[in-house]
């Protein structure tokens, strides 16, 4: 009887688990979509960013208008700026990074940003949480051990900066009372920021947009970004900054597996071991005592 009660308690205690899983898969899908679009030159980074943010905005605005009653747009300008910086730096970095390595750098920077914020604000960091985070991060490091080429420094720095922007964006969402409306507002406010890309769009000689590249950018904007980020904003309200950072450590593993399946990256024992270590560390960090 006590076992059944405990199981029921845990199911009720974590209503965010399945939405979180959806969001994490969506984050990994962004890496795969972007890498597929850029690796064969089907689209350039600036055009990918424009299509991604514009399509995500239209999708989210449609969703809040279809709600009964319709939702008023929320969000903030700081959220829109953080979203734009993340999206553009993300696309530029993936010109030379593989899906798994890019996601590793991205969410490694996210983890540092969010755990740093948790420490700065005095959030209690338990020994179990810290140990789980370190184990998961050690699993990520396995993906970059000798046996694979080190990523180009410039691309690695761009992706790290993108990760800091995404970590800040996630932290903004912790106080969000209306995740869908706030995500829609942040996407809408990211569009004026696209004016910063005007010199590249007007003067750049490397602009190109093939139908397949457009399709990947739309998939990234509507499915992986619009839907995924709205759900993520509902998740980060219910978990600590430490838990949110640790959860996102699974994204590089999912992205690496997607790269193997969809892009043709080589599967290895090292990748499989990294999956086990990362997911084990996440499980330890999120484990609660009965």
Q: Are 28 and 34 in contact (CB under 8 A)?
A: no
4, pLDDT greater than 50:
no
The torsion angles phi and psi of 108, rounded to 5 degrees, stand at: -65, -45
Q: From CA 161, how far away is CA 156, in angstroms rounded?
A: 9
Q: Is it the case that residue 49 has pLDDT exceeding 80?
A: yes
**Residues 227, 220, 260, 280, CA torsion sign:** negative
What is the distance between the alpha carbons of residues 174 and 233, in angstroms, rounded to a whole number? 7
Q: What's the distance, CA 29 to chain centroid? A: 9
For the whole model, what pTM was predicted? 0.79
The answer, yes or no, to whether residue 100 has pLDDT greater than 80, is: no
Q: Is 137 a residue whose pLDDT tops 90?
A: no
Model confidence at 142: pLDDT above 50: yes
How would residue 11 be classed by pLDDT, with cut points 50, 70 and 90? very low
Please, are residues 28 and 104 in contact by the beta-carbon 8 Å criterion? no
- Over the chain, what is the mean pLDDT? 81
In the prediction, which pLDDT does 87 show? 94
DSSP H/E element including 30: helix 17-39
pLDDT above 70: percentage of residues in the chain: 86
């Amino acid at each position: 009887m006590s076992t059944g009660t405990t199981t029921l308690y845990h199911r009720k205690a974590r209503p965010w688990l399945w939405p979180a899983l959806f969001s994490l898969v969506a984050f990994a899908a962004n890496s795969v979509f972007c890498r597929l679009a850029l690796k064969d030159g089907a689209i350039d980074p600036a055009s990918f960013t424009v299509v991604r943010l514009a399509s995500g905005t239209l999708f989210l605005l449609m969703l809040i208008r279809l709600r009964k009653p319709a939702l008023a747009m929320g969000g903030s300008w700081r959220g829109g700026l953080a979203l734009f910086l993340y999206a553009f730096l993300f696309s530029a970095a993936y010109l030379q990074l593989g899906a798994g390595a890019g996601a590793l750098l991205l969410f490694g920077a996210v983890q540092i940003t969010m755990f740093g914020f948790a420490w700065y604000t005095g959030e209690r960091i338990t020994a179990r949480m810290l140990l789980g985070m370190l184990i998961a991060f050690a699993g990520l490091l396995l993906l970059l051990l000798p046996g694979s080429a080190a990523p180009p420094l410039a691309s690695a720095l761009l992706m790290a900066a993108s990760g800091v922007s995404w970590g800040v964006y996630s932290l903004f969402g912790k106080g969000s009372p209306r995740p869908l409306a706030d995500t829609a507002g942040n996407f809408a406010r990211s569009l004026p920021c696209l004016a910063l890309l005007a010199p590249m769009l007007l003067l750049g000689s490397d602009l190109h947009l093939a139908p397949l590249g457009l399709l990947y950018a739309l998939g990234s904007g509507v499915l992986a970004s619009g839907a995924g980020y709205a759900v993520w904003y509902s998740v980060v309200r219910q978990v600590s900054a430490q838990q949110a950072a640790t959860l996102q450590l699974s994204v590089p593993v999912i992205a690496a597996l997607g790269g193997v399946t969809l892009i043709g990256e080589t599967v290895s024992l090292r990748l499989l071991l990294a999956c086990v270590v990362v997911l084990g560390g996440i499980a330890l960090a999120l484990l609660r005592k009965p």
